[in-house]
Structure 1
C-alpha cells in the first residue's frame, strides 16, 4: 500500500528484543485513573482491574511469556504510567497510541457510542488493523529522566504564561505577585536543568548514545534529554519510521489530476518542538544542515518548508549515526 512503510521483522526496544511477527493478539486497554478496562479479542471477553500496582502485577504474572499478546492503550495523561512500567519490567509487549487516531478509526467503523468497554474493543480492533510498533520499555533511571523532562516542559509553559500576564497587568501589587511567581518558576527550571545535566553525565547505559547526539552541532543538553526520554526508538527504526514518529514526514494531498502541497501532521509534538530549536541552531553552525538549507532556499523553497526539511534530515542522520554507532562527521 502506498504511503505505508514496511516494518522490520525484529526491532530492539529498551532492554529486550521484540518481534512484531510474534504478536498475533492485540489486547485493547481503556485507561482511567482508578481502573483499566481490557478486551481480549481471542476470547471475546472483557475484564476490569484496578489501576494499582498489585492488580497490574497479578495480570503481568498471568501474561508473562506470552509473546503473541500486545497490550495497546491510548496516551492518557500519565494514568497509563504504572501499567506501562510493569509491562516493560516483565518484558510484555505494549504500545501507546494516539487517541485522536483511535477516535477517527471508531467513527470510520460507524461506532459513535463511547463507554470504557466499547473503547477497549475499538482500541483492540484499531491495533489489529494498523499493527502499532511496540513502545520502548524504560528502566527506573530512564523513567526518572522522562519525568524530569516532562516537568521541565511544564515549567517552560508556566514561565511563558506568567511573562504574558506580567505584560497585561497594570496593578503594582499584581505585578509583584507575578514577578514573585516568575522568580520561583525560573529557580525551579534551573534546578531541573542541573539535575538533567547530572543524569546525562552519570548515565552509563546511554553513554555512547549521548556522545553521538552531542557530537552534532545544534544538539545540547536539553535536546539530548528530550530525545533520550521521549524518543527512545531513535536508532532502532528506519528513516521513514523515525520521521513519521516525530511528525516531520511529508504527507501527500493529491486527488485526481490535482497535486496538493505536502504537509506534516501528527507525531510527538514535544520532540518536534525541541528538534525545531535544535535545527535553527544547526542551520547556523552545523555545516551539513547549513548547506542543505541554503540549497533548498536556492531552489525557491519557503523558509518554513526548508526548516522542516532540515528537521527531517537532522533527525534521520542522528537516527542513522546511533544505529551504526558513529559520531557526527562535519565533512
Structure 2
C-alpha cells in the first residue's frame, strides 16, 4: 500500500551492515548505531508519529531487525532494490562509497522517488517459511547438479564413492524439503487453494507450483503483462531509428524462467491446448525457441488468471457466509 506524496515530509536514509546502521535524515549529518533492536528503537523514536519515510536497501536479512523496529514504531519504510540505488548513484557520476555517504544517497533516492516507492509490509510467517524452504531446495538442487557433473569428470574416479555418498545425502535432504513444503502448503487454506489452481495448468507440477507461490507471491493480483515481466518472459522492444531488432525476453525473477522452460517442454509433449498452440506456432514457421517462450508466457498468464479467479470466488463465498 502506498501513501500519498503529500503525507511524506522528510526522508530517512538508513545504510545497513551486519553490525551497524547509519542514519541520515536528509541533511549532511549522519549517525551510526548498533544493528540491535534497543539501539535502533532509541535512534528512531524521535521520528515516531512524524511524516517520515525510511529507506533502506535489501541486504540479505541484515535489515530485518531495522524493519521490525520501524514497523513497531509505525514509521513507513521502503526496502530498495540495491541495483536500482546503484544505478541512481551512477547517474550522477559519483564513485565515493562508505556508510555515511550511502545513507545520504538513500535519503536523496527516497526524496526524489517517494511518490512511487511501495511501502514495505511484513511477510506472512507461513509465506516467509515457504520462501526459505523453496530457496534452500534450489540451493541443494544446484549442489546436486555440481556433484553429478563432478562424477562424470574423468579425474573423479578416485573419489567417486565420496561423491556418490554426498549425492545420496543431498537426495535425502531434497526429499525431506519436498515433504516439508507439501505439509506447509497443505496446512494453509490460502496456499492450498493457490497450489491447486497452479497444478491445474498444463506443465505445472509439484516443483514449479511451490516455486511460483514462493517467488511470485503477487500471483493473482497482477495483469498479464506484469506477471510475464516478473517471470522474465515478456518481449521487450530494442529499436532505434530505422533499426528494428528482434524483441528479447530479459529480466524478471531469475529462479522462474528455467523452471517455466521445463514446464513448457512438458506441456508441449502432452494432449492439451498449449500443445496445440505450440504446434500451430511451429506450423507458422516460428523457431522452436520462440514457440517455447510463447508457451512459457501462456503458462504464467494462465496460472495468474486461475489464481485470481479462485481467490475472488473464495472471498465472495466468505462474504456470503459472513
**Do the two structures share a fold, i.e. TM-score over 0.5?**
yes
Cα distance change, pair 285–315 in 1 and its aligned pair in 2 (3 A)? same
| 1:113 matched residue in structure 2 | 96
CA deviation after TM superposition for structure 1 residue 62, in Å? 6.6
CA contact (8 A) 1:212 1:326 kept: no
CA deviation map 1:222-255 (0-9, x unaligned)? 2221122221111122222222222222222111
Equivalent of 1:293 in 278, 292, 315: 278
Report the 3-state secondary structure (helix = DSSP H, G, I; strand = E; otherwise coil) of the residue aligned with 1:154.
helix
CA deviation after TM superposition for structure 1 residue 86, in Å? 6.1
Structure 1 CA distance for aligned equivalents of residues 268 and 11 of structure 2: 43
Equivalent of 1:100 in 75, 83, 87: 83
| 1:255 matched residue in structure 2 | 240
Cα distance change, pair 200–119 in 1 and its aligned pair in 2 (3 A)? same
- TM-score after normalising by structure 2: 0.80
Worse-superposed segment, 253-262 or 291-300: 291-300
Tell me, yes or no, if structure 1 residue 230 matches structure 2 residue 215: yes
Equivalent of 1:311 in 290, 296, 306: 296
Report the 3-state secondary structure (helix = DSSP H, G, I; strand = E; otherwise coil) of the residue aligned with 2:202.
coil
CA contact (8 A) 2:2 2:118 kept: no
Q: How many equivalent pairs are there? A: 308
Cα distance change, pair 286–86 in 1 and its aligned pair in 2 (3 A)? farther
| 2:315 matched residue in structure 1 | none
- TM-score after normalising by structure 1: 0.79
Structure 1 CA distance for aligned equivalents of residues 293 and 76 of structure 2: 33
Tell me, yes or no, if structure 1 residue 270 matches structure 2 residue 260: no
Cα distance change, pair 171–142 in 1 and its aligned pair in 2 (3 A)? closer
Q: Which runs of 5+ in 1 are unaligned?
A: 1-17
Cα distance change, pair 49–308 in 1 and its aligned pair in 2 (3 A)? farther
Higher helix share: 2
CA contact (8 A) 2:22 2:99 kept: yes
Cα distance change, pair 70–276 in 1 and its aligned pair in 2 (3 A)? farther
| 1:73 matched residue in structure 2 | 57
CA deviation map 1:36-90 (0-9, x unaligned)? 334444x66544343334445667777677786353424x334334445666688
Report the 3-state secondary structure (helix = DSSP H, G, I; strand = E; otherwise coil) of the residue aligned with 2:152.
helix
CA deviation map 1:249-289 (0-9, x unaligned)? 22221111111111122221012222222222223337232
Cα distance change, pair 319–104 in 1 and its aligned pair in 2 (3 A)? same
Cα distance change, pair 310–37 in 1 and its aligned pair in 2 (3 A)? farther
Tell me, yes or no, if structure 1 residue 202 matches structure 2 residue 187: yes
| 2:316 matched residue in structure 1 | none
CA deviation after TM superposition for structure 1 residue 152, in Å? 0.4
Tell me, yes or no, if structure 1 residue 52 matches structure 2 residue 36: yes
Q: Which runs of 5+ in 2 are unaligned?
A: 313-322
